[in-house]
A and B are shown apart, each in its own frame.
Chain A
């Protein structure tokens, strides 16, 4: 990543009260055209970091208490990124974990990721750049220390942020005090992993205490003096276009300060949340809709063959085998999924004449800022987007019109305005996980090995239509990379295979949902692999192993399969009314294999134990990687067993937890065993890959218990009792 190397130059530092060597408000350099980034990401599946790494000055701040504050351009939504980044930075800064604090970088600092926090890329993409930045910062401090002490830089040693010449000692804080310009040296050599003190250790989350003691760290917690509450009317109907509103009733409701009517929406500003909500409910909006959509309409649009096909993977020629004989074919379905994150989308905006400040939970800091600036007609650097901790992300906060709406309301009243979605609005105006239909075909040879394999996935859009992927990219990409994620065939030893992605444009917004297509695609492919193993009369795990190819990728997959079989004691049989189910997936270069132990009690599918072997490469924080696995497994279980949205009379439904059934405490497996393998020298994807196998693993276990091959999620709904 030569392009990210820092070059020797000077940075002027502007000091602030209470801090010493402080953030410079730099100019943001957008040097990486997004198309190349996406193409690169597609080629290597390793998304590079897309922000400014030219100087540590915008990344680190040193406080009088000799602590280092890391200003993170990646947001913390529970995935533990802040902790991993702190470990990586502390390593090169030669400080104790107690000496580092991580905060969200505000957009005005210039330290912004022009992509997003998502795709399980934060740790992997910053693994080199962040350590280089920290090492550079350390060298800058050493250089200043040498100057201040009047000694050679090479004679200095560092321990816990204290620099010693042998005779005198200075803290980083003392070194940084009064410095007006920093010399940025060439990028120093990085410490080898074998010498690392923090990386690889299960250090507690850096945000643990805030989250245990109830600190006000989330978007909806933000407050400003003189703040008002806003609420925006949203349609419950699919495809509804705003055509104006009758505000006469709402205007006189208690607490109402102003009704704000725009070309595309109407909102209320009131003195309290409840008054804003009540007034909003009294606004009568005229919505124009074209069609009264039903679930059946969506289902028929979605069938493989209806949309636009694009071959995303091809080896050999499957057509030679599918013409005649014993073709095995099956069709799988997955429903619309809601994000259902508990913190509703919202924002606190304060728009003044020359400056706008927006506090919000967002995964796309730069896009949120740019959209708000555009709507307000302000320069981008007049808008400061201050990200907060996210009360869940899961891809929901990659679309942020809520920031724009809060800003518009604030501008209209000249005071800070906070507004957020009601739960019904969250459910009906989500950017859903698209429903999918899969058609799989295969042919086995006489020995029971797969000769030819084809996966068709028909899906609503994921990446396409998203602000992160400009329309111009669509013809270049051909197929929606989010929809086909996890949809390629991972068993490279199959001589003939292909995967085809069918694009269907649905009438409601579908987009990024944790792991994107991985959940549904793996459910379909790995259930079908199980069907083939049964047909071939092979042990399902062994059957997979005979089809993994002999290269690095194939061997890493084979290793997690062997490991999970060994640790779980996987057997293809029913013991004491419990069956084991097996499945594996490879997502963003991270292979993951799972074995579940399942029984059926009172007609309910019950998951007792999950064993998960995953190879995410080098692990920065094993405890948090395990936490991600545990959470992803239960979230994936929830989506596979229970969750579904329907379309009824033009509206998405249900609109509340409960009817939208999700896994709760009583559903969660009591045993989860995570085994981490390291098949690569640097960190890879963690937060999404373990969502892959769980659905198929459960369905495969249910087949063994009942003989029922459930080919539709949510599984519990389709269990015949």
Chain B
């Protein structure tokens, strides 16, 4: 009961913040996919959905091309000079896990998920176009030797990937923005796109 009251309060705080700050980015609604659309989800549409998620800061921030993790919707460099380190997990002593645990910390606002780390540098996406990102994603030489099947599993089951839809609160207790496609629709889009052989539209 008390916890519920607390959560309600947090929720109202968040709502207040969103309304008060008139933050368009935060208010960006999910691209809702209707039943008919879902049934008729085209490969192109699925691809767009997948890429809309991958391009979002919740995903992109940990796929840097300069070895520096990013933070926030403005994708600023991680404070205090944190960097990739040897195994994508920070420096030898001060590493991701010094602050990031296996789940979000609601007291500190430090996000967390299992095996919190940067994507390997071969999977750096920042600054790349959609099709370039897709190419890196599909290429076993850059994606860590993953087959399409393994990619689907990774993208729909890995807890660190799915953290994007459970991003917790920031240092001020404000809910982080989620990607513009719901978790469920993202999974469907991933499956659809790979079912069709993961074609990259030529534009």
Given known contacts A274-B107, A664-B81, A666-B81, A655 and B171 CB-to-CB distance under 8 angstroms: yes
User: Contact between A664 and B80 (Cβ–Cβ < 8 Å)?
Assistant: yes
Residue of B nearest to A279 (CB): B6
Instruction: Give the chain A neighbours of B92 by CB distance below 8 A.
Output: none
The closest CB in chain B to the CB of A423 belongs to: B171
B172 in contact with A282 (CB, 8 Å): no
Q: Report yes or no: A253 in contact with B107, Cβ–Cβ below 8 A.
A: no
Q: Given A658-B80, A664-B81, A666-B81, are A253 and B172 also a contact pair (CB < 8 Å)?
A: no
Expressed in whole angstroms, the minimum distance between the Cβ of A236 and any Cβ of chain B is 9
- Asked if A478 is at the interface of the complex by the 8 Å CB criterion, the answer is no
Q: Report whether B6 and A282 are in contact in the complex, using a CB–CB cutoff of 8 Å.
A: yes
B81 near A656 with CB under 8 A, answer no
A252 surroundings in chain B (CB, below 8 A):
1-2, 5
B9 within 8 A of A: yes
Find chain A residues with CB under 8 A from B173 CB.
281
Contacting pair B172 A424 (CB below 8 A): yes
Interface residues on A, range: 10 to 19
Tell me, in angstroms, the Cα distance from A659 to B5 when the chains sit together: 31
Q: Write out the residue numbers on chain B whose beta carbons fall within 8 Å of the beta carbon of A160.
A: none
Contact between B81 and A278, CB atoms less than 8 A apart: no
Query: For the complex, is A535 an interface residue (Cβ under 8 Å from B)?
Result: no
Shortest beta-carbon distance, A248 to chain B, in Å? Answer: 9
A254 at the interface (CB under 8 A from B): yes
Contact residues in B for A281 (Cβ distance below 8 Å): 6, 9, 13, 173
Bound-state CA distance A710–B6 (Å) is 48
Interface status of A9 (Cβ within 8 A of chain B): no
Instruction: For B20, give the chain A residue with the smallest CB separation.
Output: A649
- Given known contacts A655-B171, A655-B172, A656-B171, is B80 in contact with A278 (CB within 8 Å)? no
The B interface is mostly helix, strand or loop, or mixed, namely helix
Interface residue A249 (Cβ < 8 Å from any Cβ of B): yes
The answer to whether A253 and B80 touch across the interface, beta carbons within 8 angstroms, is no
Residues of B within 8 A of A657 (CB): 79
Which residues from 657 to 696 on chain A have a C-beta closer than 8 Å to any C-beta of chain B?
657-659, 661, 664, 666
List residues of chain A with CB within 8 A of the CB of B81.
664, 666
Known contacts A274-B107, A281-B9, A282-B9: A658-B2 contact under CB 8 Å? no
A424, B13: Cα distance in complex, Å:
16
Q: Nearest CB to that of A248 among chain B residues?
A: B5
Residues of B within 8 A of A658 (CB): 79-80
* Interchain residue pairs A-B with the least CB separation, the first 9: A658-B79, A282-B9, A656-B171, A249-B5, A254-B2, A253-B2, A252-B2, A249-B9, A658-B80
Q: Add 20 more A-B contacts to A252-B1, A253-B5, A424-B172 (CB < 8 A).
A: A249-B9, A252-B2, A252-B5, A253-B2, A254-B2, A274-B107, A278-B6, A281-B6, A281-B9, A281-B173, A282-B5, A282-B9, A655-B171, A655-B172, A656-B171, A658-B80, A661-B79, A664-B80, A664-B81, A666-B81
> Could you tell me which A residues sit within 8 Å of B by CB distance?
249, 252-254, 274, 278, 281-282, 424, 655-659, 661, 664, 666
| Contact sample, A vs B, 30 pairs, CB 8 Å cutoff | A249-B5, A249-B9, A252-B1, A252-B2, A252-B5, A253-B2, A253-B5, A253-B6, A254-B2, A274-B107, A278-B6, A281-B6, A281-B9, A281-B13, A281-B173, A282-B5, A282-B6, A282-B9, A424-B172, A655-B171, A655-B172, A656-B171, A657-B79, A658-B79, A658-B80, A659-B79, A661-B79, A664-B80, A664-B81, A666-B81
